[in-house]
Amino acid sequence: MIKADLEALVQAAVVKAQAAGELAPVPVPPGVIERPQRPEHGDYACSLPLRLARAARAAPLDIANAIVRHIAPVDWLAAVETAPPGFINFRLAESWLALQVVQILAEGDAFGDVPVGKGERVQVEFVSANPTGPLTVASGRGLAIGDTLASVLSAAGYSVEREYLINDAGTQTETFASTLFARYQQLFGRQVEVPPGAYVGEYMLEIAREVKDEFGDGFLDRGDGAYPPELHDIGIQKMLGRIQEDLGAIRVRYDSWFSERSLYDSGAYEKSMSLLREKGYVKEKENAVWFTSTALGEDKDNVLVRSSGKPTYFASDIAYHYDKFVSRGFRRVIDIWGADHQGHVPRMKAAVAALGVDPALLTIIIHQLITLRRGDEEVRLSKRAGDIITLREVVDEVGADAARFFFVTRAPQSHMDFDLELASRQSNENPVYYVQYAHARITGILNHSRERIASFEDGDVSLLVHEAELALVRKLLQFPEVIEEIAQSLEPHPLPYYALELATTFHDFYERCRVVSDDVPLSKARLKLVAAAKVALARALGLMGMTAPEHM
């Protein structure tokens, strides 16, 4: 990549300048190449002289000049310049830029891949909503973030596994089963009240009707009125089926579905608790078992096993991460949680450390809430699910492409407004429409070109000298950098913005440069550029889980 190559050039120049006595022998930090905000400053800039000034005890501009004197000449750089107060600016050679069109076409679907991951095993666990109700619009944001991030990490050379934790144990599923049993009995005319904290919404009645249709009155007379244990599992499986249908609607697939209950059946829970005891992080007080989080810098200790003898959700989560890191051997684990889990992050990090795992290997991403709007009006109620807005309702209204694009346009830690009216609009005001229209326009150009030009494989890209053509090439070459940036920051929101910028740059090129004209050699060169733009745009859309339409 260009940034990496420039960094290597600068590092080598620094070593030469130090050897020549023109620069003090001070350590050089990485990551010194950036894109300048103003294009007149060049394609790339280096601020290293400003960062070295104090340690080197020299003026930044003098340091910049010393480095530039030792930068080796390369054919892909047209100019290397210094600028006050101490920047080094780089301008790419236009002839080299044009040649990159051929390279992009050669890479095809692999364009944008960067080998930074080196095959490292990474697990991305996201959403894992309790199977007690339909996926909410908030879950949709986590789905889009997690799935896009997993795709980008794969493009960055990591071996990625997507996982959904099925919370099929605990009090919430017990409440779900109790609610289902009450609804089931009501279908037979029994005057039964739903339990406290019951799950409301039409979906509970739908599942109860399915149970009645399949099993008749077989669950009515079961002892003391508590729900039959098998009804719990039947209800959970039916709810999981609905969740999987919702996932299909938004095009999310998981590599692994992990049962919370299996942590107890496999012995992972006991092993993790034994390990904590051996390391002295467990104590008993108030008839409960506690994790001594304070020994690891936390403000308070946390309960692992209640006085009733039932493990807490925290204890289950410790066992789950023991299974991830120790039993299955993932090198890195990324958890994507909703805003209501914010307080759980530090104690989970402490627990991982107590298990003997470097807490830096666990990344927990918290995504904030969503406000749904139709223009200026806030959307608050769901007709089908009670007091929640379901993901399926949003997808049915705006489509999977728009939903996924909008869900990842903001950094996870930022609250977001989702305008359903804008997302449904078939106009350039809608960024989804604008980006996908660019791909459809490209396809149309390539299809129609065949009426006049049978093939453009022999096109000479050195003819691409117009500023709009070269601007498009520059934008294409940013794509691998975006992939690397996301892989490092673990925040996928730069991807939709890149797609939007690429579409804008392409539309500008199209308006300023006639692609197919009487000048056949130039037409062939421009068709190659158009085909390269299609490669990059389709790849960006694909990584976001969106379609790349051929026509609109």
Residue 425 has pLDDT above 70, yes or no: yes
CB atoms within 10 A of CB 71: 20
What pLDDT shows up at residue 245?
97
Instruction: Give yes or no for a contact between 472 and 505, defined as CB atoms under 8 angstroms apart.
Output: yes
pLDDT confidence band for 323 (50 / 70 / 90): very high
Closest Cα partner for 65 from 106, 102, 101, 14?
14
The share of the chain scoring above pLDDT 70, in percent, equals 98
Residue 389 has pLDDT above 90, yes or no: no
CB atoms within 10 A of CB 207: 22
Mean pLDDT, rounded, for 297-315: 93
CB atoms within 10 A of CB 65: 16
pLDDT confidence band for 379 (50 / 70 / 90): confident
Greater confidence (5 vs 384) lies with: 5
What pLDDT shows up at residue 226?
85
Mean pLDDT, rounded, for 285-310: 93
HEC per residue, 502-547: HHHHHHHHHHHCCCCCCCHHHHHHHHHHHHHHHHHHHHHHHHCCCC
CATH class of 97-116+427-543: mainly alpha
- 3-class secondary-structure state, position 336: strand
Closest Cα partner for 3 from 105, 98, 116?
116
Residue 131 has pLDDT above 90, yes or no: yes
Domain boundaries, the chain: 2-92, 97-116+427-543
Mean pLDDT, rounded, for 90-107: 98
pLDDT per position as a tens digit, 450-502: 999 999 999 999 999 999 999 999 999 999 999 999 999 999 999 999 999 99
Cβ neighbours for 358, distance < 8 A, ≥ 6 positions apart: none
Instruction: Give yes or no for a contact between 114 and 478, defined as CB atoms under 8 angstroms apart.
Output: no
Question: Which of 26-35, 49-58, 529-538 is predicted most confidently?
Answer: 529-538
Greater confidence (321 vs 385) lies with: 321
The share of the chain scoring above pLDDT 90, in percent, equals 89
Phi, psi torsion values for 469, nearest 5 degrees: -65, -50
Fold of 2-92: Gyrase A; domain 2 (3.30.1360)
What pLDDT shows up at residue 170?
83
Closest Cα partner for 48 from 6, 104, 111?
6
**Burial of 249 per CB tally in 10 Å (0-12, 13-18, 19+):** middle
What radius of gyration, in Å, describes the C-alpha atoms of the chain? 29
Q: How many residues are there in the chain?
A: 552
What pLDDT shows up at residue 58?
94
**What is the pairing mode between strands 370-374 and 416-419?**
parallel
**What is the pairing mode between strands 33-34 and 44-46?**
antiparallel
Residue 386 has pLDDT above 70, yes or no: no
Mean pLDDT, rounded, for 24-53: 91
Lowest mean pLDDT among 325-334, 335-344, 492-501: 335-344
What pLDDT shows up at residue 534?
98
Closest Cα partner for 85 from 130, 49, 32, 113?
49
Closest Cα partner for 348 from 245, 270, 272, 447?
272
Q: Could you tell me the CA-to-CA distances from 62 to 12, 48, 83, 86, 100 in Å, in that order?
A: 17, 12, 10, 8, 34
| Mean pLDDT, rounded, of the chain | 94
Mean pLDDT, rounded, for 30-45: 89
As given in the structure block, the two tokens for residue 40 are 């007149």
pLDDT confidence band for 414 (50 / 70 / 90): very high
DSSP 541: H
pLDDT confidence band for 383 (50 / 70 / 90): very low
What pLDDT shows up at residue 385?
45
| H/E segment holding residue 91 | strand 87-92
Which residue type does 341 have?
H
pLDDT confidence band for 384 (50 / 70 / 90): very low
Mean pLDDT, rounded, for 10-28: 94
Q: Could you tell me the CA-to-CA distances from 147 to 110, 360, 400, 504, 548 in Å, in that order?
A: 19, 22, 13, 25, 17
Cα(433)–Cα(172) distance, integer angstroms: 41
Mean pLDDT, rounded, for 521-528: 98
pLDDT per position as a tens digit, 193-234: 999 989 988 899 999 999 999 999 999 876 567 899 999 999
Phi, psi torsion values for 77, nearest 5 degrees: -110, 125
